[in-house]
Amino acid sequence: MRVVITGGGGFLGRKLAQRILKDNSIAGADGQPRSVEQLVLFDQVAPPAEETADPRVEVVTGDIGDAETVRAVVTPGTDSVFHLASVVSAGAEADFDLGYQVNLDGMRHVLEAARALGTTPKVMFASSIAVYGGALPETVEDDTPVTPETSYGAQKTIGEYLLTDYTRKGYVDGRAMRLPTIVVRPGKPNLAASGFASGIVREPLNGIDFACPVRPESRMAIMSPRTVIDCFMHLHALDAQALGHWRGLLLSGFSVSMAETVDALKAVAGDRALGAISFEIDDQVQAIVDGWPRTSYSARAEALGFPRDRDIADIIRAYIEDELD
C-alpha cells in the first residue's frame, strides 16, 4: 500500500503516521489488512527528522494550494490519501484568500489528483464540527442543519459535498469525519478560540499557571488524540456499502466542563507539581464558546462502531503517557 498524508507535518498527521508505521498494516480496498510499503508525509514543513527515519517514509514539502504539487504527491500506485492539511479556523478568518486557497482549492487538487489515478483510491478527509453554527441545540446530531458561521466551517462543509459527489461518480472512495475539539493538544498554545480546553491541562502540567478565559461550568464537545486516530483507522477500514451515499460523518464527542477537567487533572496529577489555575473570563471567548454545542452525538457513528471517549481522567492520563513520560 502507498499511503499519503497531507498535513503530515502537523499534530494529527504525525500521530497518524506513527500509528500506521507501528501497525505496518492498513485496510486495502477490500477491507483486508495490507502491509504499508510507502508512507508519504506532505506538508509545508517537514516533521522532525527522528520521526521520518523509517525507510518506508517519504517526506515532501510544498503547497497544497498548487495543483501540480499535489499531482506530484498523489502519484499512480497511491491507495489511500488522508487529507488533513488545512488552515485553521482563526487563520481562515484572518486571511480569507489563504483559507479558500488551502481549504477549498487544496481539497479540489487532492480530489482531482486522486480521480486522475483512475483507481478509485480512498480519500479520507478531516472535517470539523465547525460546520455547525448559529442557533444550535445543546447536542448536535446527525440531522442538525449545517449552517457554518466561519469561513473554515464553510470550507469544511464544501469539502464534504465535493467528496460525496466525487464518490458518487466513482472517482474516489471518499470518507469524511467531523472532528470535535481535540483535547489535549500538545505543544505551544495556538490562537484557536478553543485552545484553552487543552491549555487548562497542558500548561499546569508544564508547571505554568493558566488563566481559563471561560466560566468553570462551560461545557464543550471534545475528543482525545488517541480516539481521533482510532476513528480514522476505523473509518478507513469500513466497508463502503456501510457508509452509503453521504460521506460526511459526525463523530460523537465527549462533553466535559472546565470544572470537571480541573478536578480530573488534580486527581490524575498525583505528586506532580501543577501550575495554578484561575478563571479570568474573557467575554469575547465566552460568547464564542457559548455559541458552540455542548456535545455531539451521532447515532450513525455509533451504529458503525466508532470508538469514543468516556472519561476526562483517561484522556489526561493518555496525554501524560504519550507526551510527557
Shortest Cβ distance from residue 193 to a copy of itself (Å)? 17
Phi and psi dihedrals of 31, rounded to 5? Answer: 85, -10
Query: Where does this chain bind a copy of itself (CB under 8 A)?
Result: 96, 134, 143, 145-149, 151, 154, 157-158, 161-162, 164-165, 168-169, 245-246
In angstroms, the CA 173 to CA 218 distance is 38
Nearer to a copy of itself, 2 or 115 (CB): 115
CB of 10 to a copy of itself, least distance (A): 24
CA distance 148 to 157: 8
**Nearer residue to a copy of itself within complex by CB, 39 or 154:** 154
Please say which residue, 72 or 116, places its beta carbon nearer to a copy of itself. Answer: 116
What is the Cα–Cα distance from 192 to 210, expressed in whole angstroms?
Answer: 16
Question: Minimum CB separation from a copy of itself for residue 151, in Å?
Answer: 5
Spatial separation of the C-alpha atoms in residues 323 and 122, rounded to whole Å: 30
Provide the annotated active-site residues: 152
3-state helix, strand, coil in the chain (%, to 5): 40, 20, 40
Contact at 8 Å (CB) between 127 and 248?
Answer: yes
Complex with a copy of itself: residue 31 or 145, whichever CB lies closer: 145
Q: Which cell numbers in the block locate residue 106?
A: 487544496
Determine which helix (DSSP H) or strand (DSSP E) holds 221, and give its type and residue range. Answer: strand 219-223
Give the residue with the Cβ less far from a copy of itself, 151 or 296.
151
- Rounded to a whole number of angstroms, the minimum distance from the CB of residue 105 to a copy of itself is 10
Classified as helix, coil or strand, 167 is helix
Q: Which residue type, as a one-letter code, is found at position 194?
A: S
Classify residue 31 as left (phi > 0), alpha (psi -120 to 50) or beta: left
Quote the least distance from Cβ 179 to a copy of itself, whole Å. 19
Shortest gap between Cβ of 109 and a copy of itself (angstroms)? 13
Report whether 149 contacts 135 (CB < 8 A): no
Rounded CA-CA distance 238/175 in Å is 10
- Of 158, 154, 132, 155, nearest to 145 by C-alpha is 132
Q: Which residue number, 74 or 268, has a Cβ lying nearer to a copy of itself?
A: 74
**Taking Cα atoms as reference points, which of 173, 1, 3 lies closest to residue 82?**
3
Q: How far is the CB of 106 from a copy of itself (least distance, A)?
A: 14
Select 216 or 291, whichever has its Cβ closest to a copy of itself. Answer: 291
Q: Yes or no: say if 235 and 175 are a contact pair by the CB < 8 Å rule.
A: yes
End-to-end CA distance of the chain: 33
